[in-house]
Amino acid sequence: MHRVDRPIVKRSLFSWVFDGNLRWQVLLLAIIAVAVFTRVLPLEMQKRIVNQAVSLRKVDLLLTYCAYYLAAVLLSSACKYLINVLETHIAQQSLARMRIALYDHIITLPLSFFRNTQPGTVVNAIANELAVPSNFVGSAVSTPVSNVLTLLAFAGFLLWLNPLLAVVSLSIYPAAMIVLPFLQRRANKANQQRVDLARTFAGRIAESIGGVHEIHGNGAYRIETGKFNRLVEQLRKVRVVWSLYRFAVKSTNNFFTSLGPFLVFILGGYMTIKGQLELGSLVAFLSAQEKLYDPWKELIEFYQVYQDGRVTYDRTMEFFDIEPDYPLAPTDRPAFDLEPRLEVKSLSFFTDGGIRLLDDINLHLEPGEHLALVGFSGSGKSTLALCIGQLNKYSNGSVLIGGQEVSQLTKQDLAANVGIVAQSPFIFEGSIAENLLYACDAVAGEDGRRPSLDDVIAVLHQTGLFVDVLRFGLNTMLTAEMHADLVKDIIRIRRKFQEKHGEKLADYVEFFDENAYLSHSSIAENLTFGAANRDDFTQAELSRNDYFLAFLEQSGLHRLLLRLGAQLTRQTVDILGNLPPEAVFFEQSPMNADELPDYKAVAEHLRRRRLDDLDQPDRHRLLTLGLRFTPGLHKMAALPAEMQRLLLAARASFRERVSRDRPGAFTFYSKNDYIFSQTILNNIFFGKAKTTTPQAQEVIAQNIIQVLIERDLLETIVDIGMHYNVGSKGEKLSGGQRQKLAIARVFLKSPRLLIMDEATSALDNTSQARIQNLLETRWKRKSTLVAVVHRLDTIRKFDRIAVMKAGKVVEMGSYDELIARKGALYELVGRK
């Protein structure tokens, strides 16, 4: 992890100007020196062109001076471009380093900070608020140096042309330097309010999105909209005031800069008429006076950027200027290797509001002992576990692990010895493997040794996650470039699977056969007998595909499918037309529940018209229904043997035609070819399940696993499954899978002290019993366990049970002792 000696919240904005940017700033200064010269040279050329080339009618001088003028303009443009490039590079590099440093600091802040801070506030600070300060850093050297030097150069040139006229024209700038800072201070005050309100604004949005279920559940749309509207109005007013002051600064600056040419016209014109000033000098003077506006304008804009950046940076740093509760890592020693002996003495914990959540807690655990914390909700069980795990900073008392005070240990010391599983574990966006190895990688560092695949698979088996990961692997689609060898193995497994298990699975599986009609595949699937590689040839689009429709006409199937669609429409409407449109009633029909109204209209049209007289939308719907028809699933109609024969003949014809006319549109099924548009499972399976009952799925899965084991490919498929992306916050996993993954993550780390805060609450009874049995066999006497337990039927074999009430331990002992005492635990068990 990247760290700096001084926290970012203690650094000034100016500290970033040269930090890591020194060589770029030096290069900028060199380019600026050239740029200033190229901005003054054209003024001298203007004077000489008028006074010498034009007045003396010398074409050679005209061409020479114009060439110098053009060269200076081109060089000035190139310098300006390079300056902009370097400023952008410095700004973006500084922005990246600021974000890294601020993020690095924020994630070390106490958990109490995050309980009182909306995530949107943090996101806004890192993503948006640092952009303005970084823009200042990018131009902190180049803009003032470049424009001050340009102003001095122009002022010197003006004094050289005519001292009196120069003094008069430059006299406006001292007045501007008095008025403009006054306006800018007002703008800064409004900007501070804007930054604070913008942070609150982002937090409000994040809170509403995070609590959207509660808003929907209570129908509280008006309340939340009212809160949001009031905040929007406050932000609008502040932004208007801020913008008005910014515009006032610009307008005042424009007035002063426009006043300069006026003075030059009055005085300079008079002096030229009186012969006291050459015409070329007046032209050059006017050009210089006009160009004075550019560096002055840039300096004013830079001043605004500086003020905006300073205010935003200071407010952001003030907001996050909080010290971590504990040091992150030891400075002069490696992390402690602690004996898992736990002692809690006179422990108390108060919230920031002074509410006492723990009161004089005392307990002792020898290495390898297991303690269950039980009690009613709000009794302090989780709070005590979090204090032991250094996630809450206790107020009074002592917590010792291996004789070392927890409050004096670093985060690295705790991470090396303690593993924590929360009731609602957080799963990071990324793969199963990244989440599973998260705790191990955090302790080992970048160069540490990772657990082997055998270790990982063992933990997956122990936690019951192995089957899930295997399924993720089996549902992965391979690529020809990356998995050429594996593809060959899977084709061999396909043959072995059907040879060895085909007869046994006949009641569950219909294997693909190029020469047989497949009753559990739709008519469209039977016709195409392959996987579409183009969108217009997918099953959903076939009834609209002109090429496919022409094929049906030429094959004599189009009218037959329309008749079949009409038959299915009449039967479904007659049988299901008056039932609620729920999916369960439509399982034996190719029609979906939400399509019933449309097909009712088609059925009505069929009563009044012949099939050939229907309009195109009705015919399309009938064809769609016919193509969906699956005899093995849809029992409302039967598929005549003659039509099956026609469809089989059309299958061969379709393959031949498409291969010729639309090469690459389909990957046709063949026992000897891998189908890259299908999953590994479908390629091994090479067929369709006749039923989706759990029993059938389990039988099929066990037979596939057996073949994978025989071919020594099980670990390979599991390894592929480990790369399954779980989505944001693990949204692609069920609650039970997320909890299993969190438990596996800690088990793989093998901590000396294990803290589990209702870690099995989302698991079914079987999975919960598996974890409990694992704790009692593999972890007993090996690691000390502190478990917050909700289900009291799982605590019998714990060495000790601590019953908590109102933040106190009211009794502690073994299960049998406490039940015999008929105290608090006896009462809890009786109530359960």
Q: 825: domain CATH number?
A: 3.40.50.300
Percent of the chain with pLDDT over 70: 88
Q: Tell me whether residue 673 is in a domain.
A: no
What confidence tier does 647 reach under pLDDT thresholds 50, 70, 90?
very high
Domain of residue 656: give its range.
513-668
682 belongs to a structural domain: no
Whole-number pLDDT of residue 284: 60
pLDDT band, very low/low/confident/very high, at 129 (cuts 50, 70, 90): confident
Q: How many CA atoms lie within 13 A of 724 on its CB side?
A: 24
154-163, 255-264, 316-325, range with greatest mean pLDDT = 316-325
Q: Do 153 and 301 lie in a common domain?
A: yes
Lowest-confidence segment of 220-234, 495-509, 629-643, 658-672 by average pLDDT? 220-234
Q: What residue type is assigned to position 792 of the chain?
A: L
**Structural domain contains residue 500:** no
271-275, 442-446, 677-681: range with lowest mean pLDDT:
271-275
Does 357 lie in the same domain as 311? no
Is residue 813 one of the residues assigned to a domain? Answer: yes
| DSSP secondary structure letter of residue 483 | -
Query: pLDDT digit string (tens) for 240-252?
Result: 888 887 777 777 7
500 confidence band (pLDDT: 50, 70, 90): confident
Three-state SS letters, 615-647 = CHHHHHHHHHHHHHCCCCCCCCCCCCHHHHHHH
Residues 648, 553 share a domain: yes
- Provide mean pLDDT across the span 324-331: 85
* 160-169, 686-695, 779-788, range with greatest mean pLDDT: 779-788
Give CA–CA dist 218/663, Å, rounded.
57
Query: Do 205 and 63 fall into the same domain?
Result: yes
Last residue of a domain, one of 634, 668, 702: 668
Judge if 187 and 312 occupy the same domain. Answer: yes
| 506 Cα distance to chain centroid | 45
Instruction: Examine the fold and report which residue of 319, 353, 372 is the final residue of a domain before the chain moves on.
Output: 319
Judged against a pLDDT cut of 90, whether residue 686 lies above it is answered with no
Instruction: Give the residue from 622, 644, 668 where a domain finishes.
Output: 668
Q: What is the mean pLDDT of residues 405-422?
A: 90
pLDDT in tens, 280-289: 555 666 666 6
Instruction: For 16-29, give the DSSP string.
Output: HHHTTTHHHHHHHH
- Do 311 and 394 fall within a single domain? no
Q: Has residue 182 been placed in a domain?
A: yes
> What is the average per-residue pLDDT within 716-741?
90
Residue from 782, 783, 820 nearest 801 by CA = 820
Mean pLDDT for the stretch of residues 588-617: 89
Nearest to 566 by CA among 519, 629, 625: 625
Average pLDDT over residues 493-516: 85
Tally of domains within the chain: 3
Q: Which range has highest mean pLDDT (197-206, 251-260, 515-524)? A: 515-524
How does residue 754 score in pLDDT terms, banded at 50, 70 and 90? very high
What is the pLDDT, as a whole number, of residue 312?
85
C-alpha dihedral sign at 726, 731, 734, 736: positive
What local confidence, expressed as pLDDT, does residue 262 receive? 63
What confidence category does residue 646 fall into, taking pLDDT thresholds of 50, 70 and 90? very high
Percent of the chain, pLDDT > 90? 22
Residues 6+ apart with CB under 8 A from 254: none
Task: Assess whether 440 and 581 both reside in one domain.
Answer: no
Confidence of residue 167 (pLDDT cuts 50, 70, 90): low
627 pLDDT above the threshold of 90: yes
- The residue that leads in pLDDT, 254 or 753, is 753
- Asked whether residue 308 falls in the same domain as residue 361, the answer is no
Beta strands in 376-462 (DSSP E): 396-401, 404-405, 418-421
278 with 370, same domain? Answer: no
pLDDT at 532 over 80: yes
Tally of CB atoms within 10 A around 271: 18
Mean pLDDT of all residues in 10-39 = 86
Instruction: Please report whether residue 443 resides in a domain.
Output: yes
Instruction: For residue 99, give the CATH number of its domain.
Output: 1.20.1560.10
> Tell me: the pLDDT tens digits for 57-99?
777 787 887 888 888 888 888 888 888 888 888 888 888 888 8
Is 491 part of a structural domain of the chain? no
Residue 3 pLDDT greater than 50, yes or no: no
Residue 368 sits in the same domain as residue 454:
yes
Average pLDDT over residues 329-333: 85
State whether 593 and 452 are in the same domain. Answer: no
Specify which residues 343 forms β-bridges with. 364, 400
H/E element holding 287? helix 279-319
Residue pair 430/374 in contact (Cβ under 8 Å)? The answer is: no
pLDDT band, very low/low/confident/very high, at 685 (cuts 50, 70, 90): confident
- The pLDDT-based confidence of 123 (bands split at 50, 70, 90) is confident
Model confidence at 303, in pLDDT bands (50, 70, 90)? confident
Question: Is a pLDDT exceeding 50 seen at residue 253?
Answer: yes
Mean pLDDT of 284-310: 71
Q: Say whether pLDDT at 212 is over 60.
A: yes
To the nearest whole number, what is the mean pLDDT of the chain? 83
pTM of the model as a whole: 0.72
User: Does residue 475 sit within a domain?
Assistant: no
Q: 348 and 311 share a domain?
A: no
Distances (CA, A) of 670 to 382, 655, 700: 58, 12, 21
Return the pLDDT at 138: 85
Residue 4 is predicted with a pLDDT of: 44
In this structure, what is the dihedral angle of CA atoms 343, 345, 350, 351, given to the nearest 10 degrees? Answer: 0
Confidence of residue 1 (pLDDT cuts 50, 70, 90): very low
Q: What is the pLDDT of residues 343-386, one digit of tens each?
A: 999 999 988 777 889 999 999 999 999 999 998 888 899 999 99
What is the mean predicted confidence (pLDDT) over 268-293? 61
